[in-house]
Amino acid sequence: MKAFRKILVFLVPLLVVGFVVSMLYKWNYIQHTQHIPDEFNIPNIGVGYDANKNRIDDSKDIIEGAKKYVARNPRYEELKEYDTGWPSQNRGQAGDVIAQALLNAGYDLSKLIYQDIQKNPDVYDNNPRGENIAFRVVDNQRIYFSRYGEPKDLDYHNINDWQTGDIVFFEKNHAAIVSDKVNDKGIRFVIHHFWEHQSGYLQDVLETDAWGRIVGHFRVSARTLSPKTDYSSITTEVKE
């Protein structure tokens, strides 16, 4: 009996420490090794389109837009409506990463999604539809890209089909931008915003299934600009 107690005294702390370490690693509080796709011979496919006519492939503009947004260290807050549509500086949530990243490439979701809702209201279920909030709602974004984005493989193990600047949607009302970094298996890191205490915005979380199954994986294209907007009216700077 004494021997069994000694074993428990040794094993229980070990198991607790192991669990804590595994959770810290899962949520990226312990740094994950980052690689570039070239190390795994992943082709750089890109979008092959340039919505804002700056001679840069949209995939590069999208990832740079996401990086510029999170570089401000925005503080997480639950979705709420702002008078201008865009949240105040250093505020945001999952949908803002998508909206800001796409804006940098010339896709103004504040106009595109609202216009599509006006033309096709029944498609957007009972989601918020106001002009100043609809474009930041993750499920509205998912619906829009399912209609006008280029669908890609939902299986992140198909590493060649997961490209920088893609948009991914999760079952539990979450979304992220696919980054230009991969883990030790060639699986992509993502840029996302999900709560106020996350360890960073660039994270290796696809394999955790923390937000349920992946329900959408899209790439932008010329079709994503439908319904059309006037290029001259698109502002491609991250909103303050």
Low-confidence ranges of the chain (pLDDT < 50): 229-234
- CA 132 from centroid of its chain's CA atoms: 21
What's the pLDDT at 115?
Answer: 93
pLDDT at 24: 59
Cα gap 225→231, rounded to integer Å: 10
Domain coordinates in residue numbering, the chain: 1-30, 32-233
DSSP3 helix / strand / coil % (the chain, rounded to 5): 40, 15, 50
Q: Are strands 91-92 and 75-76 parallel, antiparallel or unpaired?
A: parallel
User: What letter represents residue 70's amino acid?
Assistant: V
Give first-to-last CA distance, the chain, whole Å: 66
Output the pLDDT for position 231: 42
Q: Are 62 and 224 in contact (CB under 8 A)?
A: no
Residue 78's pLDDT is what?
93
What is the per-residue pLDDT for 5? 65
Q: What local confidence, expressed as pLDDT, does residue 144 receive?
A: 96
Q: What is the DSSP string of 121-156?
A: GGGGTTS---TTTGGG-HHHHHHHHHHHSEE--S-T
Question: Left if phi > 0, otherwise alpha if psi is -120 to 50, otherwise beta: which for 186?
Answer: left
> For 33-47, how does the pLDDT look when each residue is reduced to its tens digit (9 = 90+)?
999 999 999 999 999
Q: With residue 178 as reference, give the H or E element that holds it.
A: strand 174-182
pLDDT at 188 (0 to 100): 98
